[in-house]
Amino acid sequence: MGCTHLEESPLTVRCVLHSDVKGKRDYISELPDCILSYIQSMVSMKDMMNTCALSKRWSNLWHLRRDLNFDVHNVFGSEEELLDKGYLAIEKVYEYSRKDISDVCKDEFIKRVNQFVKNFKGIMIDSFMVKFNNLNHRHSKNIDEWIKFAISRGVGRIDLLLYQEPGHYKGTRYTFPFGLSFECKSSRLKHMHLVGCKLVCPPSNFDIFPFTNLKSLVLERSRVDVKLLTTLLSNCLLLEELNLESCKVNSSSLKIVSSSLCHLKLLWCEASKDEELEFISLDCLKLTSFYSCHMNPSPSFSMNTPILKTIDHFDFPGGIYNAFSFFATVSTLEILNLCIYYNCCPCCSGKGISIPLQTTLENLRELNLRVVSQFDIWWILDVLKASPFLQKLSVMIEYPSFDANETDIDDLPMFSHDEIKVIELGGCVGNWYEIEFAMNALKYIHTLERIVLSPYWKDEMSPNNGQQCDPSWPNGRKGILEKLQDEGIELDKLVLL
């Protein structure tokens, strides 16, 4: 009998597993192992263990499971069960209700995972995940055994998600056991995600072997020793993706040197309490995409990335002039998503920014700008001049304001571009320079396929990064249309939201 795809929902499967099989014939238990193991993969670890009571055959099948996921609901059941057993407490904090896992629940969770690991007879697993808040250094002995168990079973992916709630066990994070001795002759570990851990550099002779086949490493809300990171990068020659999110490093400088890294993400990273992260050096010959956002404070960068094509969410504390001078050193750059905090720089006086020819971004095809300061139409013209092969330009102005002053309108030069196809301006309110810019683009850019004027901008401080809109936009929209129609401009390429 061959294996077929099962369409049952987890709820249906759970009912089947708990049904009475004491009838004349147990047809379910006669199914092939591959189907029964598939059924087990659709239910929680708790329900899977309950199948052991169905029959002798079922009692051996749980060893076939290759994805082991341990979190509160997988181990204990529904939220109602957690409340009934006192594992979950609801505390009223001001006008909000907060749900906290009790220490009794934490001890029971560790006990159950230990029992599973001890009794599991399977010889191979694909993934091992533990997700539980505020497990820390006091539970190191147990967590170390879980990691050793997973690696000894040839695990391909480890997710250790020990989220640390604010104020809980401050400074006592679990230290990931790079210094442990692992009894394995080969390693299948390719993906590792660590949250709420501490990564320190063990003795120089520690066994790096179990981690040498890593392809992706995600470190989140963790404390990272830069020496350990350097060791991992120099020994993990297959590592293609590295994410550091909300991490603290024990140095004022961070050097990332890798011959294999293709994708790098640095988000909300900073130095330890006594230092500031001032300098980041990238020496990555295969890096093609770099995501950097909300570094505190904004460090200076040195980049040896000869094939880098995409830079995403880069926060640049200086003006557009300094930004283009910096990114011109990345000659292969094709897509740039940039946040500008100040439009002006010390070398500017009044109108416009003359970007020198040596800062031309020859390969740039797409530019997305988020402007967190007063808008100036002049530097958009300079951006177009400095990006001769640009095909899409998107500019979002946060917290725009209406400017009725039109004294400089005659000074706005005519401009054109030989490649641009799409222009998007967000945060519009109907200012004169928005109208003038749209008019010139529609008149003189013959490659233009679409220009979009939108009142919306994305406010990262609002819930769910909600979109904001200036209430003056309806009048502004009407004014834009009237002005363009008076000038006899064709509106088939114009989109007004």
Domain count, the chain: 1
Domain for residue 134, yes or no? no
Residue among 185, 177, 291 at smallest CA distance from 245: 291
Domain for residue 51, yes or no? yes
Pairing of strands 241-245, 127-131: unpaired
Read off the tokens for 383.
């951006």
DSSP helix/strand/coil, 306: coil
Domain for residue 292, yes or no? no
Domain for residue 407, yes or no? no
pLDDT of residue 348: 42
Domain for residue 45, yes or no? yes
pLDDT of residue 371: 81
pLDDT of residue 358: 54
d(CA 239, CA 255): 16
Over the chain (497 residues), the average pLDDT of each successive run of 10 is 41 45 58 66 63 59 80 77 66 49 77 88 90 87 94 94 66 82 78 94 76 94 92 93 93 93 92 80 95 74 92 74 80 89 46 54 90 71 87 87 59 77 89 84 91 83 67 86 86 88
Domain for residue 48, yes or no? yes
Beta carbons within 8 Å of 241's beta carbon, 6+ residues apart: 215, 216, 217, 218, 261, 262, 263, 264, 265
Question: What is the end-to-end Cα distance of the chain in Å, rounded?
Answer: 59
Domain for residue 32, yes or no? yes
pLDDT of residue 464: 52
Task: Find the domain containing 32 and state its range.
Answer: 26-65
